Chain A
Amino acid sequence: MSVTDEVQPRAALRQPSRWELPFGSIATSIASLLAALVLTGIVILVLGANPIQAYGAILSGALGNPYNTGLTLMVATPLILTGLAAAIPFSARVWNIGGEGQLYAGAIASVLVALTFTGLGAVPLTILSIACGILAGGFWGAIGGALRVFAGANEVIVTLMLNFVALTVADYVITGPWAQNISPQTRNIPKGVTLPTIWPHTAVDLGLILAVIAAGIVFVLMRRTPLGLAIRACGFNPDAARLAGFSLGSIIMTAFAIGGACAGLAGAILVIGVNRALVPDISANYGYIGIAVALIAGLRPLWILPGALLFAIITVGGNNLTASSNISTSVSLIIEAIFVIFLLAFRVIRLQEATS
């Protein structure tokens, strides 16, 4: 039996009505954000800085000038995709904690393709590299789904472990035959393989458009296709879904594969766009923060866009904290985590309703 098994009655994701915000009532959500800001404010006081000043620094650091706004959009890009990577399997009520590993799988595949098939033209190679990143992420996700479906393995443990397997593979690629031997990274990918900048004088590239398109596709998939219906049915009530003729196994596999593909795209974008190579720590916990993004979006694909933007603002703005308030940039991580924990504790986000 798995973690989510039926000792107590199966409880589904609360079905939201059409006009409801994804995170329940607006008032409770705002209260949660305020409570998170107050609690983090206390932490900031303990660290010896002025909370109001620190929050100002976060806002100006994230949105103060076009360049920083560009950075914020750049960070939002992988968060949108890892948010989708969590949201799709979560909608089927299976737990994909493997966004981080799926992102790395995508990054590894795209860098290897870009370094290997240099004979192709720049544009075909870029497309091939991104496609292979998506496929590798999807494959990495599908492993978790397959082991859950065919072996009854606990998907939380399996996807967590797959994260570390992907990390060690990435370490091998970085230090092994593809090493640059100057700094710890792979050789740079060919010059022509690139994502064009879409906002001049900032770092915003085509990756953002790809991520938004992915969110749009997932929205259509989840809301307007039989597959999306099947995934949501599996989340609402697996027994009813099975009796209604859905094949739960293939639904779960597909949900994991599509989720993994989104995370894989994030990895490819990070390699081809900003980093130009596979570097250690290419993902700043994006896989795990993506889970938080999916939660504040109520697992809804389109709400993931503002959710990822909010978290990107906090993350990028946090980088300004050391310069302006002389406290750690990690304070942004505290705000993000506490905010979502409050949403969970106030039952604004309800993933399963405990009944006995």
Chain B
Amino acid sequence: MDSAILTAVLGSAATVMIPVLWASYGEAIGEEAGILNIGVEGVMLVGAFGAAFGLQHTGSLSIAALMAIPSGLICALVLGYLYINRGTNQIVTGILFNLLALGATTALYEQYLTGAGLINTFTPIPLPVLSNIPILGPSIFTQAIPTYAAFLAAPVVYYLLRHTWFGLYLRILGERPDAGESSGLNVQGLRWAAFAIGCVLVAFGGASLVLVQTGGFVADITSGQGFIALAVVILCRWNPLWIVAGAALFGLADALQFQMQTVSQLSSVPRDVWLAVPYVVTIVAVAVARRSQYPAACGVPYVSGAEA
């Protein structure tokens, strides 16, 4: 593989992985707090639509990116009410929310955004000095702002989850909410806070899909990337630093399917093989690693002992 192809693969992988990366951070925060949000796909979709909508009506990329906040909060409101307050089954609620988000964004897109002329993405900015490194320079160190931000967010989310009282409390809620409540934690309130933050990050993942890659919205634009985020989170065991590596695996597989056609030794391998790799890796990892288990109370609605 010559260096031009390697550069293209790495550059494309670093771009493709970003929506999954943001969504994985958000999903990880929710799961640590005990909320298994299968609706992550729908939240991404809403985030992507919000960004495209904002871009269309303001023409500003930064405002479009900030639209992830209201988009994420709207989703958090709907899902949080169902998951946290009503205690509905999180698996089926999430699946239904995905269908709802698919229907709603498609309908709104067909009504308001089809044929929309404005298509815009963040331009890649070469980092000083680093962009001169051969191969890595023109690929990984020549990216758009949301891409750099996604990588820089990893240590921040890691610190938040592992080295703050907030992160500690969240993990108590994920493992033993009853114990948390006994020691004076507001279980529902903390879950709401974590879930809202998580949904905004997930929505930003959807937004970055539009603002870095496509420049506009199409129906079902996420096409399963939210589910990939679910896989990345469990594959990387809720560790934001590992999540970067997990998302990179998906990015590489996606980049390889295009580039491998140009490499003579590998051109006979159907592109679907590359596409299937991440899913198979996840299945194997979840099956082999007995430690890949959700936090004990993840997915279990909590009813306060005082109310029951």
Contact = CB atoms under 8 A, between A and B. Distances in A.
Interface of A: 1-5, 7-8, 43, 47-48, 95, 97, 147, 151-154, 156-158, 160-165, 168-169, 171-172, 175-176, 285, 288-289, 291-292, 295, 327-328, 330-334, 336-338, 340-341, 344-345, 347, 351-352, 354-356
Contact of B107 (A5, A8, A334): A334
B246 interface: no
Contact of A171 (B93, B272, B287): B272
Given A151-B288, A176-B270, A354-B300, 19 more contacts: A1-B296, A95-B91, A158-B287, A165-B276, A172-B272, A176-B272, A291-B92, A292-B95, A292-B96, A330-B103, A330-B107, A330-B219, A331-B107, A336-B99, A336-B103, A354-B301, A356-B177, A356-B305, A356-B308
Contacts of B178: 7-8, 356
A91 to B, nearest CB: 14
Contact of A7 (B38, B97, B176, B275): B176
Contact of B287 (A5, A153, A338, A341): A153
B282 A161 contact: yes
Interface residues of B, number: 64
A168 B102 contact: no
Interface stretch (B13-21, B138-146, B227-235): B227-235
Nearest to B293: A1
A345 B82 contact: yes
B64 interface: no
A332 to B, nearest CB: 7
Contact of A168 (B108, B272, B283): B272
Contact of A351 (B89, B96, B270): B89
B91 A3 contact: yes
A328 B91 contact: no
A169 B272 contact: yes
Nearest to A161: B279
Contact of A295 (B92, B176, B301): B92
B82 A161 contact: no
Given A47-B108, A176-B270, A337-B103, A355 B287 contact: no
Given A157-B286, A356-B303, A168 B275 contact: yes
Contacts, number: 188
Contacts of A327: 107, 110-111
A142 B302 CA distance: 32
Interface of B: 36, 38, 81-82, 86-93, 95-100, 102-104, 106-111, 175-178, 219, 224, 227, 230-231, 234, 270, 272-273, 275-276, 279-280, 282-283, 286-288, 290, 292-294, 296-305, 308
Contact of A330 (B110, B175, B287): B110
A355 B303 CA distance: 6
Contacts of A352: 89, 301
16 contacts: A4-B300, A97-B91, A147-B283, A151-B286, A151-B290, A154-B294, A157-B231, A158-B283, A162-B283, A164-B224, A164-B279, A330-B106, A334-B107, A337-B96, A337-B100, A354-B302
Given A165-B276, A295-B92, A337 B99 contact: yes
A153 B282 CA distance: 11
Give 8 closest A-B pairs by Cβ, nearest first.
A333-B103, A337-B100, A3-B299, A328-B107, A330-B106, A354-B301, A151-B287, A334-B103
A223 B81 CA distance: 36
Main secondary structure of the interface of B (DSSP, over half): helix
A146 to B, nearest CB: 9
Contacts of B303: 354-356
B40 to A, nearest CB: 11
A308 B232 CA distance: 34
Contacts of A341: 82, 93, 96-97, 100
Nearest to A347: B86
B49 to A, nearest CB: 12
B301 A152 contact: no
A160 B96 CA distance: 14
Contacts of A344: 82, 86, 88-89, 92-93, 96
Contacts of B88: 344-345
B99 A3 contact: no
A46 to B, nearest CB: 8
A355 B86 CA distance: 12
A157 B272 contact: no
Contact of B95 (A97, A152, A154): A97
Contacts of B81: 345
Contacts of A168: 272, 275-276, 279
